[in-house]
Structure 1
Amino acid sequence: MLDKIMLGMEADSPVHSVWKSDCKNTWCNYLYPESFFYVPLYRMQLCAPVPIPIICEDVLQNTPNYLGRDYHGSISHTLANNLLKPHPDGAYLVRSSRCANGEFHTLSLKFNDKIHHYKLFYDPKYGLYVREKRYDCVRSLVADGLITMYLELKVPHMLERLPTANYLESPYMTLNKRKLRALSKNHLKNNNYKSSFLTTSGTDDIPLPQQILNPQPPKIEKSHIFKITTFKGLNWCELCGNFLWGFTAQGVKCDDCGMIAHTRCSEKFPNDCVPDLKYLRGVFGIELTTLLTAHGSELPFVLTKCVAEVEERGLQVEGIYRLSGFYEEIDAIKMALDKDGEKADLSLSKYPNINVITGALKLYLRLLPIPLITFQVHPRLIDAIQHKNVDLQISSIIFSLKGLPKAHYDTLMFMIKHLAKVASFSSVNKMTPHNLATVFAPTLIGPPESTDSCIPDITCDILMIETLIVNCNKIFNIDPK
């Protein structure tokens, strides 16, 4: 039982459709035909015992400031039982434990006509806690525990159904499926599949291909980013459809798509997170896969817009990418891209200094939470460039790059291809592959994970980026024409 109260609200509600007062609903009847289970879970929560603090009548010295008048100091197990016995379920008190050595206090609680004793811990930063749950006061902790214990007592066999919850059959997947369909339609629209087919066929009598009439959602390979959350009002798990009970930290919510679930249910979600733009704050500092999935694009528009400006008016500018623009203008570009997205104006009339455009591009790459060349792939590339044989070196680089997520691989290929084009004008702009690699090595790879205060040696990183630029066509299988 102690494990259950310490797990708090991550135990899972047994009844579907609890937000409806009508207990004769199809989904509930289909899964749980037993008449007892038609009682809405929210009502069951209201039936749970409420906390009844047993106030200490004596004035105690050195009472911890995070405990109230329900703290009785150092009293025995027997005395605590005698104080609680005359009271109904929900009565509780806090006392010192002789064997605790100051590490914890003891919570004595009456439930189901029995007295239970639990270890109560305190952290100055987070407050009272039992495992991952945190509370401002003992009363809130007891209220949560009583609800969990009550539901566990009333419907224990329903809780056992949780491991059999089927994500794909959940009635709350409608919104996620709708997002997937929208991404699919946008993908078809952007590639002009329908118009291209009609133009080719030359007649409206020929039926459209099945993949155009019934587009399949694009395959999503992005994990949810769940964080423990305290919800207000009634909420339910989008995996099992059960109520999130309790008053604090009832479950988890995905930062990117807003999916809500029990803590235990969240462990079963597949990697099919479809980020919602309303949960994303701008574009700078957003994880790359999340951003591209949310926008339904293959490349970040920040890079495509900046690169377009550079290739139009900056290829022959001496020191391009090496020289820095004014910070105020770079910050203005960042704010414009965060606010206006692809509609942001980066034209010559707005920003005549091309160096502020390149500054914004480099800033975007530096602020990526996961570097473009990930920490997992970076050491493999360093090993690959150690080969003396050029063919073996390139084949090892190609193999190593396969470890990158698709969003990272496509974006890296786009950037290296662009840098190779910039380097082709090195006789004018003075930016050779080595010079460009020196500028972009820290940007594409990011800071080392080590907390060592010594300045890292990036010689190998520069050589690696230079190798990518020089052998761009071979590594990424690009036709030089």
Structure 2
Amino acid sequence: MASSEANIVHGASMWKSYLYQLQLQAPQSKRIISECSTDNKPDHYGRECHGMISREEADRLLAKFGDGSYLVRESQRSPGSYTLSLRFGGVTKNFKLFYDGKHYVGDKRFDTIHDLVSDGLITMHMESKAADYIAVMVSEPIYEHHSKYTTLDGRKRKQSVKKEVKIYDEFNKANITVKDAPTKPEHIEEIEEIVPSSYEKPHKFKVHNFVGPNWCEYCGNFMWGLIAQGVKCSDCALSTHKQCSKLVPHDCQPDKRLIKRVYSIDLTTLVKAHNTTRPIVVDKCIKEIESRGLSAEGLYRVSGFSDDIEMVRQSFDKDGENARIGPSDYDDINTITGALKLYFRQLPIPVISYEVYLDFITAVQNQTTEEKLELMHKAVHKLQELKPAHYQTLKYMVNHLHRVTEHRSKNLMGSENLGVVFGPTLLRSPEVESLESLTNMKFQQHVVELLIANNNVLLDL
């Protein structure tokens, strides 16, 4: 059975097919060909162009052929402008035509006038016959029950683990040692690996041209029209009506097959696609740096060769977690540190995201260290609530940088030096080219410096 036929059967048996049946009843488009040659007509119009005829003449011609008939005419009031005259519901409707390589009267672009008319007839038919149905069709969504993208199971797993750990902690605090007391859940750090499934992430919907009949995965109704029938998430392929997309929860579960790269990809998108707590670049690079580079003088300050760094980037983009970055591949540890810094610089949203940028900057502008730390702690907590994947990454990175400072007698990199390196890398102003972003550079450096020096206080939430 062809895929489109299978889709129809699936829609007929499981989803709502009323709108599909209604589309089949829409008037068919009928081009009214001009019997006279038309001088000076644009090349992108064919024999449906009747030249400079009046509204009345167009109405007379279309009335003869009935609903679905159409022609193009040049405006008598504005020569050089063209109008689509279309018969629907026993009435001639007139639309100003535009062309920019595609034909259009509204938002949708079409290769031919015939396709434009066919799509318009379907839309007008739907609006005239099913306006009330369309207005209320989202009131009984099938999304929670049928969509493979729901995160309900993920939330349940997370809650179960939290409950298990909480019970253990309560027994431990009470110093209870009875035989029935729960044992400590093994590998609590590994249990956190289920967190990515519960990270909230909005869908990245884009207008999409579906081939063959398709049904909305939110409301279950048919997506009518010839082109641009709805929207599709470029990260997880969820398909919905445009109006339904506004109601879909922020539960996008990116498909790794659709995420073609590692660098320059939104951080939350990447970790959800790979089902990791942090970006694979961060984990692999830090592991490599700590295994052989903590004593390297000028660690993170000295730059590696740009060509080698680019090769590491390409390796991660191509091979993901299987990227080879060991000493036999790149003996200069500065290549690995450079690749890690490049990853952070190319993030669309920095690790310390734009929503909390001013919270961090404002915190370090206070006079006393105690006030700074109190406000920094609140800012970190806000980041954890808004962007949990960013928080996990920041925590892991800052703890690593703290371990770097423990070798500062050899690598000469204390928290102040690392603040200079990572200030503009881990956080940056939303207004990149503003004067304020330049004046805030010293505060960015101070934020990272305080995070490194007080990691056990600020990041142990």
Structure 1 and Structure 2 fold alike (TM over 0.5): yes
Deviation at 1:469, TM superposition (A): 2.1
Give the 3 Å change call, closer, same or farther, for CA 240–249 of structure 1 in structure 2. Answer: same
C-alpha distance in structure 1 between counterparts of 2:223 and 2:239, whole Å: 9
Q: Percent of aligned positions with the same letter in both sequences? A: 40
Q: Equivalent residue for 1:19?
A: 8
**Which of 40, 49, 54 is matched with 1:76 structurally?**
54
Distance 2:115 2:369 in 1: 66
Partner of residue 239 from structure 2, selected from 240, 250, 260: 260
> Structure 1: where are the runs of 5+ without partners?
1-16, 29-38
Structure-2 residue corresponding to 1:4: none
For 2:350 and 2:328, locate their aligned partners in 1 and report how far apart those are by CA, in whole Å. Answer: 32
Q: 1:311 to 1:169 in 2, by over 3 A?
A: closer
Contact 1:251 1:263 (C-alpha < 8 Å) held by counterparts: yes
For each residue in 1:57-92, what CA deviation from the matched residue of structure 2 results, as whole angstroms up to 9, or x when unmatched? 444454344433323344322122112111132111
SS in 2 for 1:303: helix
Task: Select which of 412, 428, 443 maps to 1:460.
Answer: 443
The answer for the alignment partner of 1:439 in structure 2 is: 421
Question: In structure 2, what is the equivalent of residue 422 of structure 1?
Answer: 404
Q: 2:363 aligns with which of 384, 392, 413?
A: 384
Distance in 1, matches of 2:310 and 2:159, equals: 32
- 1:30-83 per-residue CA deviation (whole Å, 9 max, x = no partner) reads xxxxxxxxx765454344222222233444454344433323344322122112
Query: Structure 1 residues 452 and 139, CA, compared in 2 at 3 Å: closer, same or farther?
Result: farther
> What are the superposed Cα offsets for residues 331-363 of structure 1, whole Å, 9 maximum, x if unpaired?
222232233322333222222111111111111
What is the TM-score of this pair, normalised by structure 2?
Answer: 0.82
Aligned partners of 1:167 and 1:269 also within 8 Å: no
1:296 aligns with 2:275: yes
Kindly indicate whether the alpha-carbon contact (under 8 Å) linking 1:289 and 1:407 is maintained by their aligned counterparts in 2: yes
Partners of 1:362 and 1:377 lie apart in 2 by 21
> Which amino acid in the other structure matches residue 234 of structure 2?
D
Moved more, 287-296 or 57-66: 57-66
Looking at secondary structure, tell me which structure has more helix per residue.
2
* Contact 1:423–1:431, Cα closer than 8 Å, also in 2: yes
Deviation track 1:146-195 (CA, whole Å, cap 9, x = no partner) reads 11222334444432332313254553x1x224x76479779999xx99xx
Is the 2:216–2:223 Cα contact (8 Å) retained in structure 1? Answer: yes
Once the two structures are superposed, residues 364-405 of structure 1 have per-residue CA deviations (whole angstroms, 9 ceiling, x without a partner) of 111211111112211221111110021111111222233321
The 8 Å contact of residues 180 and 218 in structure 1, kept in 2 or not, is answered as no
How many Å separate the matches in 2 of 1:129 and 1:389?
63
Which amino acid is 1:300 matched to? P
Q: 2: distance between equivalents of 1:21 and 1:448? A: 46
Q: CA–CA distance in 2 between the matches of 1:151 and 1:286?
A: 39
Q: Kindly indicate whether the alpha-carbon contact (under 8 Å) linking 2:380 and 2:459 is maintained by their aligned counterparts in 1.
A: no
Kept in 1, the 8 Å contact 2:380–2:458? The answer is no
Q: Deviations over 1:249-294 (max 9, x none)?
A: 1110011111000111111101111112121113222211112222
Task: Decide whether aligned partners of structure 1 residues 185 and 333 sit closer, same or farther in structure 2, where only a CA change above 3 A counts.
Answer: farther
Q: Call closer, same or farther: CA 1:447–1:366 in 2, change over 3 Å.
A: farther
Inter-CA distance 134–299: structure 2 relative to 1 (3 Å threshold): same
Q: Which moved more, 1:61-70 or 1:370-379?
A: 61-70
Q: Which moved more, 1:62-71 or 1:257-266?
A: 62-71
SS where residue 227 of structure 1 aligns? strand
Instruction: For residue 108 of structure 1, give the secondary structure of its aligned residue in structure 2.
Output: strand
The separation in 1 between residues aligned to 2:107 and 2:10, in whole angstroms, is 32
Residues 1:469 and 2:452 are matched in the alignment:
yes
Aligned partner of 2:34 in structure 1 is 56
RMSD: 3.7
The answer to whether structure 1 residue 116 and structure 2 residue 116 are counterparts is: no
